[in-house]
Chains A and B, each alone.
Chain A
Amino acid sequence: MARKQGGEPSATEIDMTPMIDMTFQLITFFMFVMNFSEAEQDDRIQLPLSQLAKPVEGALESPITLQLTDRGSVIYAGELVAVSDIGTYLEREKTVMLDAGKEPSAATVIVRADGRSKTGEVQEIVRKCQEKGFERFALRAQYDEGR
């Protein structure tokens, strides 16, 4: 509401309260909606849908995320790697885990594979992980409420 003040030349004072209220509410909304744990998601991957994919509860122990594109490349730590070369990176992960006093079997390998990728390539990734001692896998799918 604009109010007129008496005295000298008339000055218009805008009541900022509703705008500030609104802005704070918007900030609160965005803070709640923002999900920091989804930082690993990549737009290049179209996950297959499943109504049984269990929602991720809490943080997984020592997670290693491997994302397989429909063109057969693995996105590992933000860079594209051929499936045949992923063993080198897994060896590095294994060394880091052993240095930290953990066994590779305690780690969880999150496989975010595109629905259009070849199953054989997913199997090759799993096989290479197994060869390095990783044995826990989380095959990630997009939760489907519709079916």
Chain B
Amino acid sequence: MAKRQSSSLGDKVAVDMTPMIDVVFQLMSFFMCTLKVVAPEGDFDIRMPLGAAAAAAPDDQQVPPVRVKLSASPDGGLAGIAMNGTPVSDFEELRKRVIGLVGTDTGPNSLAERTEVELDCDYSLKYVNVVRAITAVSGKVQDGQIVELIKKIKFTPPKRG
């Protein structure tokens, strides 16, 4: 309720702020309690229909897939990387080999756009290694900008060891 106070300067309206302050503090408490600080997340978009490789008609433009084999150690760690049967020391070298194979041109109908990577991973391999491999083949960061390489990625069927 508004109250009138008399003063020498004239009538002054004193608004009762208590309900508003109550509501404002409750709102603030709500936001503080529900606030969840989360790291930004991103996606690797993969289109992988079942049996597409077998069903697809032969195409002149088709490029044989790059086969990346990731082997697991007994504890699920990364034991080895191989690209098209050739051992690769680490993911950085894998990226260099992919760039050597497809170049850095990723425009329409470029070799990088037409090439597909097939990931053949051991069943027990920790998934973090797969994301590292996808990161290595799908692009690189140059001067703060993402340079895309191969976008088409697929998995081989799971094999229980």
Contacts and interface: CB of A to CB of B under 8 A. Distances in A.
Contacts of A127: 50, 157-158
Interface magnitude class on chain B: 35 or more
Interface of A: 16, 19-20, 23-24, 26-27, 30-31, 33-35, 38, 41, 47-56, 68, 105, 110, 113-124, 126-127, 130-131, 135-143
The secondary-structure label for the interface of chain B is mixed
A77 B3 CA distance: 54
5 contacts: A20-B24, A52-B42, A55-B40, A115-B126, A118-B125
Contacts of A68: 127
Contacts, number: 169
A52 B139 contact: yes
Contacts of B134: 50, 139
B44 A53 contact: yes
Contact of A142 (B41, B72, B127): B41
Given A35-B38, A53-B42, A141-B131, A30 B32 contact: yes
Given A30-B35, A119-B123, A131 B50 contact: yes
A53 to B, nearest CB: 3
The secondary-structure label for the interface of chain A is mixed
Question: Which residue of B41, B141, B157 has the most chain A CB atoms within 10 A of its CB atom?
Answer: B41
Nearest to B40: A143
B17 A139 contact: no
Nearest to B76: A118
Given A110-B43, A138-B43, A27 B28 contact: yes
Contact of A20 (B21, B49, B126, B159): B21
